[in-house]
Structure 1
Amino acid sequence: MNNAASSSLASGPAPVVTRERAAVALMFLMNGFLVGAWAPKIPEFASRLALSESALGLMILTFGLGSITMMPVAGMQIARFGSAWVTRITAVLVVPTLLLLTAVGSVWTAAVAIFLFGGLIGAMDVAMNANAVATEKHMRRSIMSSCHAFWSLGGLIGASTGGILIASVGAFGHAAIATLAAAAMVAVAWPMMLADKPHAEEAKEKIRLPMTPLPWLIGLVALFSMVPEGAVLDWGALYLRNELGASVQLSGFAYAAFSLTMAVMRFAGDIVRDRLGAVRTLRICTVIAMIGLLIAGFAPNATLVIIGFAFAGIGISNMVPIAFSAAGNLPGMAQGIGLSVVTTMGYSGILVAPSLIGFIAEHVGLGTIFAALPALHIVVLVLSGLARHADRPAGSQ
């Protein structure tokens, strides 16, 4: 460690807002914004290509397969070049993909385009999470939860403006505006990112996927934290409407209540984690999430379900950011490798859970599903001691 780094560690935590923190937060905002901007384009995309519901489902699955394929590749490149450069390159490559998705005219070219979109979004996700971990170490304070809050905010902005723009300037006009906005965010963040190129000998040793169980166990924490999130996203509104007789307007509050409390608590999560420690924060959040899901599963009316989802959002909000911080701080392991394992496992839960939950719900009902999901969080509680690795930035090298 050089003298400048030593003096930085000795001087205590950095200011709450730094150029490096602003840069990585802006990258999270941009990534979430593109995902949010894609959501209102899906109906036009399906109509243009004459896709049936099942064919559209396969296209969305292709997006997920792209992400899962590219996430480990990104982790390996982070070990070689550092998270800042991988974040920058994947960000530049993903910027024009909305235009590509708007221009394709056949099913096969659309499949290639959506695979690239999902792959680059996923690769950038790994890289920007790794850079957030590096920035946490540099600043000696937690920032991961707020970074994920900016991702949620970007998704909200992209989704809420997308429909308006498509209606007013058309699908291509919307894609062009979203592309320019994303490019501007990358341009602002580019020079401010924290450089974290690892030592060459570390990259050579840690380029392969880990054979030790630790990252896979933390990946299990991320997986079982994200499955309930996907369940609320994909099935919450249908649960209210089909099983509790809620109106279309009221059923829309299912995910809205969940996402609102999640975004708010993610902005507060770093302060809570710095005060209580990652392990205690994870345990408290997990218990709150379990209570919320149980309320939703056993609720006799829609209002109580919405309250339950709001509680679940409070709990789930900081479970995944803590898992990602822990994965990026595992001793003796390049952070990109650990993060690629954990992000891939975590996001696999959101991709696999919807179809599996739908199959099971046909036999037992969605209420039973939501009441049973806390069983996954029991596993998170059992493994919660591994969250101690998320506290390493305070004393890391």
Structure 2
Amino acid sequence: MDATNRIATAIRARWAVGAVFFVNGFLTGSWAPQIPVFLTRLGISEFTLGLLILLFGAGAITAMTSCGPLISHYGSRPVVRWFGAIGAFGLLVVAAAPNLPLAALAMFLFGGLIGGMDVAMNANAVEVEKRLGRAIMSSSHGFWSLGGFAGGGLGGIAIQTYGHLPHAAAVTAVALVVMAWALPRLVAEPKALAHEHHKFSLPKNPLIYLIGVVALFSMVPEGAVLDWAALYLQQELGADLATAGFAFAFFAGTMAIIRFLGDAVRNRFGAVTTLRVSSLIAAAGMLVAGLSPWPWLAIAAFAFCGLGVANMVPIAFSAAGNQPGTSAGAGMSVVTTMGYSGLLVAPSAIGFVGERTGFGPVFIALSGLLIVVCLMAGLARTADFAPAQPAE
């Protein structure tokens, strides 16, 4: 009976952590269609918007680097609860910011809440994997992409119909309802494990940092689509606001579909082959999006790119967490921080370049980063592992 209860608890926790991933993606995806309104209502340039996005990334990286010691001391469950409960209000604070200084502060706080929640929920997903004795990382990221699809797809229509503040308030309400169900059902790590890993140090294995480069180059295109695709469609391809919101929505939607299939795909073909083929698909989609003269062709290309990007980051995370001679926590902390800097910080530099060259050439150049990932795919061998059986 005890074993049955443990499995039942782990299954509930699996759905609970998936719901947290969904909320994180929903908040992030709902930000994408807010960006064109954010730009116009504050009367700022793409350069200034790039600085604000940089502040978002700085807040996220600050929180992510602080989460390692917090998780080590308290465990992932309390940290998810702290960041998740407060993070539900992040988008509303940004949408309500009346001027540039307050918008800058709001962006830093929003980024910190999203980033801290992200690290903690990934750590909690690892604990659920241990309880279940099987991988759930790809499908957990699938819930994130599903949330991004819902947020991006509905956001543009909601903003155009009701306005940006009612949209942000509705997003907050949905996030709070889902969190109220999910947070009590999360599992906690054994206390002994937290004390065992209390002292944190950076790994000495150089392969960890090369895998971090794979994660970085995989997530820079994702960040570019999140922060700049809507503006690219609206300003350069002539799309309306509702249509522009579909760029990230379709990208996240195809990512969600493939991520839910990701563990089975990787088991069938192996991590190296899956990463290599995925990076080539993503590169082709990004290239066509940058060359497209029509909004809906660009949207379709971004969706195709999402098919490839979907499994790249989960594979990199698994490779880092299973690197011989390096603790899973140390490997994950380095690779997640390097990877998420591509999602959260690099888009600010993309904005600086895009303001001068247009975003089409930027997306073309980003396809080159995905080719580099293809060339580095051999580093993913350690992602092919047999999950440990759950303890009796």
TM-score, normalized by length of structure 2? Answer: 0.80
Deviation at residue 62 of structure 1 after TM alignment: 1.1
The residue identity in structure 2 corresponding to 1:130 is A
Deviation at residue 190 of structure 1 after TM alignment: 1.7
Aligned to 2:305: 312
The residue identity in structure 1 corresponding to 2:196 is E
Would the aligned equivalents of 1:79 and 1:334 in 2 still touch at CA under 8 Å? no
Q: Given the alignment, which residue of 11, 21, 44 partners 1:18?
A: 11
Q: Given the alignment, which residue of 171, 182, 188 partners 2:175?
A: 182
Query: Are 1:71 and 2:88 counterparts?
Result: no
1:163-204 Cα offsets, whole Å, 9 max, x none, are 555567665554443323212211211222132246244323
CA distance 1:164–1:320, shift in 2 (3 Å): same
Deviation at residue 258 of structure 1 after TM alignment: 3.6
Query: Are 1:27 and 2:20 counterparts?
Result: yes
CA distance 1:184–1:307, shift in 2 (3 Å): closer
CA distance 1:187–1:368, shift in 2 (3 Å): closer
The residue identity in structure 2 corresponding to 1:248 is A
CA distance 1:362–1:163, shift in 2 (3 Å): closer
Q: Given the alignment, which residue of 84, 102, 110 partners 2:103?
A: 110
Would the aligned equivalents of 2:73 and 2:195 in 1 still touch at CA under 8 Å? no
Aligned to 1:11: none
Q: Given the alignment, which residue of 312, 316, 326 partners 2:319?
A: 326
Q: Given the alignment, which residue of 196, 201, 208 partners 1:202?
A: 196
Deviation at residue 239 of structure 1 after TM alignment: 7.0
Give the Cα separation in 2 of the matches to 1:282 and 1:115.
33
Deviation at residue 213 of structure 1 after TM alignment: 2.0
Deviation at residue 27 of structure 1 after TM alignment: 0.2
The residue identity in structure 2 corresponding to 1:101 is V
1:197-245 Cα offsets, whole Å, 9 max, x none, are 462443233x2333432332221111111223334455657777888xx
Deviation at residue 34 of structure 1 after TM alignment: 1.8
The residue identity in structure 2 corresponding to 1:227 is V
Give the Cα separation in 2 of the matches to 1:19 and 1:144.
16
CA distance 1:360–1:51, shift in 2 (3 Å): closer
The residue identity in structure 2 corresponding to 1:229 is E
CA distance 1:160–1:295, shift in 2 (3 Å): closer
1:230-275 Cα offsets, whole Å, 9 max, x none, are 34455657777888xx553688776555444323212221221233
Deviation at residue 364 of structure 1 after TM alignment: 7.9
Give the Cα separation in 1 of the matches to 2:331 and 2:183.
24
CA distance 1:310–1:339, shift in 2 (3 Å): same
1:142-167 Cα offsets, whole Å, 9 max, x none, are 32222222112212323444455556
Deviation at residue 385 of structure 1 after TM alignment: 3.3
Give the Cα separation in 1 of the matches to 2:299 and 2:42.
36
The 5 Å alignment of 1:29-178 reads 29-42=22-35, 51=44, 53-162=46-155, 173-178=166-171
Would the aligned equivalents of 2:32 and 2:226 in 1 still touch at CA under 8 Å? no
Aligned to 1:281: 274
CA distance 1:54–1:365, shift in 2 (3 Å): closer
Query: Are 1:350 and 2:343 counterparts?
Result: yes
Deviation at residue 45 of structure 1 after TM alignment: 5.1
Would the aligned equivalents of 1:70 and 1:119 in 2 still touch at CA under 8 Å? yes
Would the aligned equivalents of 1:202 and 1:334 in 2 still touch at CA under 8 Å? no
Aligned to 1:248: 239
SS at match of 1:36: helix
1:41-91 Cα offsets, whole Å, 9 max, x none, are 456656665555544432222111101111111122222222222212211
CA distance 1:158–1:314, shift in 2 (3 Å): closer
CA distance 1:181–1:364, shift in 2 (3 Å): closer
The residue identity in structure 2 corresponding to 1:203 is H
The residue identity in structure 1 corresponding to 2:208 is P
The residue identity in structure 2 corresponding to 1:62 is L
Give the Cα separation in 1 of the matches to 2:25 and 2:165.
20
The 5 Å alignment of 1:211-230 reads 211-230=204-223
Give the Cα separation in 2 of the matches to 1:90 and 1:378.
35
Give the Cα separation in 2 of the matches to 1:203 and 1:135.
18
Give the Cα separation in 1 of the matches to 2:234 and 2:100.
33
CA distance 1:329–1:75, shift in 2 (3 Å): farther
Q: Given the alignment, which residue of 266, 269, 281 partners 2:262?
A: 269
Deviation at residue 29 of structure 1 after TM alignment: 0.8
CA distance 1:372–1:72, shift in 2 (3 Å): same
Give the Cα separation in 2 of the matches to 1:360 and 1:52.
13
Q: How many residue pairs end up in the alignment?
A: 384
Structure 2: which 5+ runs fail to align?
none
Moved more, 302-311 or 85-94: 302-311
Q: Which has the larger radius of gyration?
A: 1
